């Protein structure tokens, strides 16, 4: 399962863990990605998406179809 948001494309970032003595070891910073079912009243259907929590907040504010329109994405390209 790739930890990537279907709408924003947000994915893992590489970084360093730095100890007190400044020794560095590699680490991954993973995005908070959740599998969600979202109801779209305009289409009268449920849509399954893998979303970052930031995208969920934006969908709550704008609505799914407006969010997709603003991002230039089609629903059929992101629905699972």
Within its chain, how far is the Cα of 11 from the centroid?
8
Assess contact for 34 and 55: CB atoms under 8 A: no
In a domain, 5, yes or no: no
Assess contact for 67 and 48: CB atoms under 8 A: no
- Two structure tokens written together for 56: 């969920």
Within its chain, how far is the Cα of 2 from the centroid?
11
CATH number of the domain at 22, please. Answer: 2.30.170.40
- pLDDT values of the chain reduced to their tens digit, one per residue, 80 residues: 689 999 999 999 999 999 999 999 999 999 999 999 999 999 999 999 999 999 999 999 999 999 999 999 999 998 88
In a domain, 27, yes or no: yes
In a domain, 55, yes or no: yes
């Amino acid at each position: 399962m790739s930890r990537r948001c279907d709408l924003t494309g947000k994915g893992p970032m590489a970084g360093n863990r730095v100890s007190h003595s400044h020794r560095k070891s590699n680490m991954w910073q993973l995005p908070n990605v959740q599998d969600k079912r979202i109801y779209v009243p305009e289409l009268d259907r449920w849509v399954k998406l893998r979303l970052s929590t930031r995208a969920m907040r934006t969908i709550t504010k704008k609505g799914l179809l407006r969010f997709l329109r603003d991002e230039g994405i089609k629903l059929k390209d992101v629905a699972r």
